[in-house]
């Protein structure tokens, strides 16, 4: 018998076990933000709703007590219809859940934290010959708010997490990014006022899902950042600046990839997605941001607004920028060890 409530409880328990063992790897500020997201999910609050501090603090105290009780626990198998499954074997678990309209996620995220979630499967479609899963309401989740991810050639979009993630990015945008934010929201016919934005958030997010999809497609098809090097860095230098730098390099290469968002949005002239991508991505920290942003703004003033040059030839890296040089350096250092 398929018992959804039992599955939800099991996944949530493993989520809390993971949170318990990895909460100490976050800074106080980072942990507070993640707890804030988890609280809003559990209480079914909109991203902009801030509950009374006394209620939130009492809830955090309850979470800490749960973590203490689970501190020595190992992840438990997921029992479905009388069979036991390894909690990290998402493929086998999804073979059982998919016909019932659910999707289970399990894997390692930043700092090698095991992460789990269970969500309603709203849609499965194919984009550029890659399967894309669109997920809705989340029945179980942990501290990690990830809008999108890729697994074994598939793209997974977590709409519920994306809504929280997207709102927070807009809410905390720096002063230097206000112009880009106004431009991006203007493409959706919305002003910068956050109160006026609320009723339009779902509509804008639907328009921005392609930005997440093509980012993940860029990761799937990125052949410049050697995957073996990537795994060695993440496994060998967790919790360090080296991991963060490697992630920035990889993100920049994904954005620039022939199938990544920069190429896609430049071809279809989707300037709202383009502006949000530049505003929120690590690429905005390099010359790539200026090279892309200035033409975009010129289109607003009546110029041609051509967004980018043609894509880089297949199998090559933009040698003049730090991403390309960094990848070449990593490849060179790896060759010395072999």
Spell out the SS3 assignment of 20-79.
HHHHHHCCHHHHHHHHHHHHHHHHCCCCCCCCCHHHHHHHHHHHHHHHHHHCCCCCCCEE
3-state secondary structure of 248: helix
For the stretch 251-307, pLDDT in tens is 666 665 554 454 554 443 466 776 777 777 644 444 444 444 444 445 444 444 444
pLDDT in tens, 239-266: 677 776 777 666 666 665 554 454 554 4
Q: Starting from the edge strand earliest in sequence, which strands make up the sheet with 114-127, in order?
A: 102-108, 114-127, 130-140, 154-158, 148-151
Joined tokens for residue 21: 């063992």
Residue ranges of domains in the chain: 4-154, 173-337
- The residue with greater pLDDT, 143 or 226, is 143
The conformation of residue 7, written as its DSSP 8-state character, comes to H
How much is the pLDDT for 112? 81
- Predicted structure pTM score: 0.79
114, 110, 149: which is closest to 133 by C-alpha? 149
Burial of 148 (0-12, 13-18, 19+ CB in 10 A): buried
pLDDT of residue 198: 94
pLDDT at 100 over 90: yes
Answer for the pair 108, 88: CB distance below 8 angstroms, yes or no: no
């Amino acid at each position: 018998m398929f018992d959804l409530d039992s599955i939800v409880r099991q996944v949530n328990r493993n989520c809390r076990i993971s949170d318990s063992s990895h909460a100490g790897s976050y800074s106080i500020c980072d942990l507070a933000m993640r707890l804030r997201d988890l609280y809003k999910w559990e209480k079914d609050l909109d991203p902009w709703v801030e509950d009374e501090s006394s209620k939130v603090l009492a809830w955090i105290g309850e979470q800490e007590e749960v973590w203490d009780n689970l501190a020595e626990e190992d992840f438990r198998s997921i029992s479905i219809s009388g069979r036991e499954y390894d909690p990290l074997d998402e493929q086998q678990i999804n073979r059982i859940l998919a016909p019932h309209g659910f999707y289970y996620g399990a894997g390692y995220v930043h700092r090698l934290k095991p992460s789990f979630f269970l969500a309603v499967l709203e849609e499965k479609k194919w984009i550029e010959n890659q399967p894309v899963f669109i997920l809705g309401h989340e029945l179980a989740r942990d501290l990690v708010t990830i809008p999108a991810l890729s697994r074994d050639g598939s793209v997974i979009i977590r709409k519920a997490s994306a809504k929280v993630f997207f709102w927070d990015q807009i809410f905390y945008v720096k002063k230097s990014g206000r112009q880009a934010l106004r431009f991006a929201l203007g493409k959706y016919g919305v002003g910068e006022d956050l109160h006026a934005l609320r009723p339009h958030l779902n509509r804008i997010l639907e328009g921005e899902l392609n930005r997440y999809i093509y980012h993940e497609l860029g990761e799937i098809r990125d052949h410049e950042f050697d995957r073996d090097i990537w795994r060695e860095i993440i496994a060998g230098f967790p919790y360090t600046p080296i991991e963060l730098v490697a992630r920035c390099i990889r993100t920049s290469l994904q954005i620039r990839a022939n199938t990544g968002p920069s190429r896609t949005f430049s071809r279809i002239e989707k300037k709202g997605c383009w502006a949000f991508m530049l505003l929120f991505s690590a690429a905005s920290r390099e010359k790539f941001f200026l090279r892309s942003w200035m033409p975009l703004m010129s289109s607003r003033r009546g110029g041609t607004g051509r967004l980018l040059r043609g894509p880089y030839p297949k199998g090559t890296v933009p040698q003049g920028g730090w991403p390309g040089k960094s990848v070449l350096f990593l490849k060179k250092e790896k060759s010395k060890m072999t």
